[in-house]
C-alpha cells in the first residue's frame, strides 16, 4: 500500500518529492501505529496541512471500516454455515502463515547485530511465559540503550515542517479525543474500557499493524477472555480480506462485544493515537532521528517485536487442527508470501480453495 501511495503522491499527483516521501515513511515506521494509515496522513499533511492529513487518513481507512462492519454484522449468523465454516477453517492456517511471514520480515530488518538478537530472544522467552507485552517492550527499550551502542543516528534531510502550522490543530484534535473518552466514561464504562485498551495497544504498536495484533490478542483473548482464539483469528482473516490495515480487526472486536457502538468506539480509539502522533511528531522528527539514543531505543523495540511475533505465531497455531489439508494450506501460503506474492491474493485464493477442500 505504501508503494502505491508513493506512485500516486510522488509520480502522478506530484504532491511530494521523492526525498520528502521517503522521510515520511521513515517517520511512520519509527512511531507506533498502522504504518500505511500514518503514511496516508503524512502525505495529506505535507500536501494540504492538517486538514489534508485528516481527509487522507479517514479516506484511506473508510472502505476497510465499512467492509469490516458489514462482515462483523453477518458473522454471528453466517460463520456456522458449512461453506463459511470451511473458508474460516482454511483461513486460520493461512493467518498463521501470514504472522510467520511477518516474523521473518521483521527479523530480516530488525536483527542487525548480536544485541538485537539477544533482545529478540529474551523477549520471546518473556512473552512465552506470559509476561505483559507492554512491560517487555519497555524493558527492551531500556536494554537497547546498553546493548545497541553501535546504532548510529540517521538524520533526515527533507525540509522540516514549521511546528506552528500543526500546533493549534493538534491541540484542538487532542481536546476532542479527550472529550470523547470523558463522555464514554460518563455514559458507558464498558465502552470506555474498550477505548482505553485500544488506545494503549496503538500507542505501543511500534512496527505497524502486525505489532498491534499480538498485543490485541494478548489483552482480549488471554487477559480479559472477551473472545476465544478461534473467533479472534476469524476477525484477523476478515481484516485481511478488506483493503486496509490489519489493525482494522479492532472494528470486529468492538462489534462482537458491543455491536455498532463498540465497532465505532474501538475503531476511533485504535486509530486516533496514530493520527495525532503523525501531526505532532513531524515538525520534530529531524531532531529525534539525529539522536543516537532514540535510534537505540527504536531498534530494541522493533527487535522485541520479532520475539513477540514468534510467540504469537505459536499461539495462533495451537487452536488449528493440523491435519494434512491445513498443513498444505500453511506451507503454500507461507511459500507464496516469502516469494512476495501479494497478501490479498493469498487470502482470496486461500478462501476459495478452503470452501472446496475443507
* pLDDT computed for residue 149 by the predictor: 60
* pLDDT computed for residue 157 by the predictor: 43
pTM greater than 0.85? no
* pLDDT computed for residue 159 by the predictor: 47
Domain that holds residue 229: 2-153+161-357
* pLDDT computed for residue 158 by the predictor: 47
Cβ proximity of 201 and 219 under 8 Å? yes
DSSP state of 133: H
pLDDT tens profile 134-155: 788 788 888 877 765 655 545 4
Spatial distance between the Cα atoms of 155 and 62, rounded to a whole number of angstroms: 33
* Number of folded domains that form the chain: 1
* pLDDT computed for residue 156 by the predictor: 46
Burial letters 159-191, b for 16+ CB under 10 A, else e: eebeeeebeeebeebeeebeebbeebeeebeeb
Q: Which residues of the chain have pLDDT under 70?
A: 3, 29, 147-165, 207-208, 286, 289
* pLDDT computed for residue 163 by the predictor: 56
* pLDDT computed for residue 136 by the predictor: 81
Amino acid at each position: 500500500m505504501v508503494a502505491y501511495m508513493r506512485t500516486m503522491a510522488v509520480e502522478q499527483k506530484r504532491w511530494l518529492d521523492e526525498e520528502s516521501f521517503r522521510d515520511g515513511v521513515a517517520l511512520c515506521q519509527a512511531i507506533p501505529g498502522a504504518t500505511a494509515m500514518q503514511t496516508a496522513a503524512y502525505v495529506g499533511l505535507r500536501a494540504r496541512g492538517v486538514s489534508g492529513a485528516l481527509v487522507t487518513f479517514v479516506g484511506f481507512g473508510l472502505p476497510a471500516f465499512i467492509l469490516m462492519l458489514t462482515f462483523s454484522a453477518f458473522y454471528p449468523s453466517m460463520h456456522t454455515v458449512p461453506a463459511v465454516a470451511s473458508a474460516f477453517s482454511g483461513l486460520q492456517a493461512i493467518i498463521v502463515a501470514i504472522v510467520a511471514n511477518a516474523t521473518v520480515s521483521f527479523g530480516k530488518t530488525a536483527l542487525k547485530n548480536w544485541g538485537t538478537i539477544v533482545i529478540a530472544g529474551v523477549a520471546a522467552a518473556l512473552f512465552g511465559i506470559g509476561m505483559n507485552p507492554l512491560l517487555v517492550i519497555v524493558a527492551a527499550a531500556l536494554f537497547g540503550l546498553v546493548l545497541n551502542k553501535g546504532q548510529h543516528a540517521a538524520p533526515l534531510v527533507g525540509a522540516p515542517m514549521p511546528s506552528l502550522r500543526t500546533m493549534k490543530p493538534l491541540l484542538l484534535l487532542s481536546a476532542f479525543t479527550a472529550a470523547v473518552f470523558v463522555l464514554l466514561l460518563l455514559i458507558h464504562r464498558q465502552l470506555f474500557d474498550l477505548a482505553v485498551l485500544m488506545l494503549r495497544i496503538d500507542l505501543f504498536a511500534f512496527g505497524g499493524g502486525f505489532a498491534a495484533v499480538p498485543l490485541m490478542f494478548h489483552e482480549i483473548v488471554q487477559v480479559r477472555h472477551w473472545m476465544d482464539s478461534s473467533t479472534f483469528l476469524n476477525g484477523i482473516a476478515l481484516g485481511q480480506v478488506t483493503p486496509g490495515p490489519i489493525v482494522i480487526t479492532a472494528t470486529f472486536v468492538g462489534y462482537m462485544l458491543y455491536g455498532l457502538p463498540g465497532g465505532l468506539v474501538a475503531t476511533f480509539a485504535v486509530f486516533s493515537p496514530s493520527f495525532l502522533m503523525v501531526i505532532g511528531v513531524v515538525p520534530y522528527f529531524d531532531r529525534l532521528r539525529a539522536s543516537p539514543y532514540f535510534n537505540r531505543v527504536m531498534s530494541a523495540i522493533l527487535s522485541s517485536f520479532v520475539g513477540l511475533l514468534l510467540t504469537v505465531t505459536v499461539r495462533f497455531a495451537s487452536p488449528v487442527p493440523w491435519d494434512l489439508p491445513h498443513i498444505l494450506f500453511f506451507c503454500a501460503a507461507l511459500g507464496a508470501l516469502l516469494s512476495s506474492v501479494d497478501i490479498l491474493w493469498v487470502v482470496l485464493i486461500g478462501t476459495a480453495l478452503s470452501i472446496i477442500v475443507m
